[in-house]
């Protein structure tokens, strides 16, 4: 077993309190592994619809070094053709998978824009809420987060890309609205993570700008999450299908860390963990 992998022990069987704060206190890039239990995700749609395969994949990501596993049951694919999913369908996809993944002992993040789904997932033991519309879609989401006191990922999003805008200014304006909603609901600022939403409502050029100018978001004093894994902008640099974009994903994520990202959301956990650890080791040898 390589040094990038770890075995699950009895100590892992119960998630630590405030898992995100504990992880961030280690002052190293945190890796969030992606688990899509959907038929239409842009990269791996349908691959993990079978509950047993999904749970096995989560186990392998944990063994490969994932600090968090992010589970989503409604595609938020940044491409045309994304189909909204009913509350009932989203819950049906999660029910046979999420409780078993939580039992692996790695903190679980629920990727949903529905407060009722989020509440159910938190009841099962999910520890983090990842809202790709940053509290701006479901009016009940902010109150839920405040009441539960869980960490929240606020992601920037747009209904469609506009190549004529200053994307950094747009991201900041979006975050200002989300943070105002959070404050009014009583969500502790220290519980919030900001995600510039690479590939969501952005041209490929704007996605690259968001990574290149990530330091523009440092003024918030909040952790930053970047998920560039297999995103379409890589294809505009080197023609490639989603499954062929690992090298581009690693390049983007290393630059994101250099520019201030604390959390990296990735499909390819073992490779991402190894790349980030080697990057840190080389920097530490200066």
Task: Enumerate the active-site residues.
Answer: 231, 265
3-state secondary structure of 1: coil
- Strand partners for 154: 131, 194
Count of other CB atoms within 10 angstroms of residue 206:
23
Q: DSSP code of 160?
A: S
Tell me how far apart the alpha carbons of residues 106 and 168 are, in angstroms, rounded to a whole number.
33
129 Cβ neighbours under 8 A, 6+ residues apart? 109, 110, 112, 118, 122, 141, 144, 145, 150, 151, 152, 153
Buried b (16+ CB within 10 A) or exposed e, 29-67: bbbbbbbbbbeebbbbeebbeebeebbebbbebbbbbbb
Q: How far is CA 1 from the centre of its chain?
A: 27
Q: Is 142 within 8 Å of 182 (Cβ atoms)? A: yes
Q: Given its phi and psi angles, is residue 131 left (phi above 0), alpha (psi -120 to 50 degrees) or beta? A: beta
3-state secondary structure of 115: helix
3-state secondary structure of 195: strand
* β-pair type (68-72, 108-111): parallel
């Amino acid at each position: 077993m390589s040094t990038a992998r770890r075995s699950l022990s009895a100590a892992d069987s119960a998630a630590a309190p405030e898992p995100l704060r504990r992880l961030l206190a280690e002052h190293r890039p945190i890796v969030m592994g992606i688990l899509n239990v959907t038929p239409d995700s842009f990269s791996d749609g349908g691959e993990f619809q079978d509950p047993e395969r999904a749970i096995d994949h989560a186990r392998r990501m944990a063994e490969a070094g994932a600090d968090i596993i992010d589970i989503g049951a409604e595609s938020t694919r940044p491409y045309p053709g994304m189909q909204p999913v009913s509350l009932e369908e989203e819950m049906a996809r999660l029910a046979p998978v999420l409780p078993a993944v939580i039992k692996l002992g790695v903190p679980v993040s629920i990727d949903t824009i529905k407060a009722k789904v989020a509440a159910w997932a938190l009841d099962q033991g999910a520890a983090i809420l990842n809202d790709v519309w940053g509290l701006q879609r479901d009016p009940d989401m902010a109150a839920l987060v405040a009441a539960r006191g869980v960490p929240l990922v606020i992601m920037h999003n747009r209904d469609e890309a506009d190549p004529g805008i200053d994307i950094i200014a747009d991201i900041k304006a979006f975050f200002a609205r989300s943070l105002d909603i959070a404050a009014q609901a009583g969500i502790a600022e220290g519980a919030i993570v900001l995600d510039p939403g690479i590939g969501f409502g952005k041209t490929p050029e704007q996605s690259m700008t968001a990574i290149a100018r990530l330091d523009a978001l440092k003024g918030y004093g909040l952790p930053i999450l970047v998920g560039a894994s297999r995103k379409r902008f890589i294809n505009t640099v080197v023609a490639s299908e989603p499954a062929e974009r690992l090298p581009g994903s690693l390049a983007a994520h290393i630059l994101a860390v250099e520019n201030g990202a604390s959390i990296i959301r990735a499909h390819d956990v073992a490779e991402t963990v190894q790349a980030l650890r080697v990057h840190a080791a080389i920097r530490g040898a200066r």
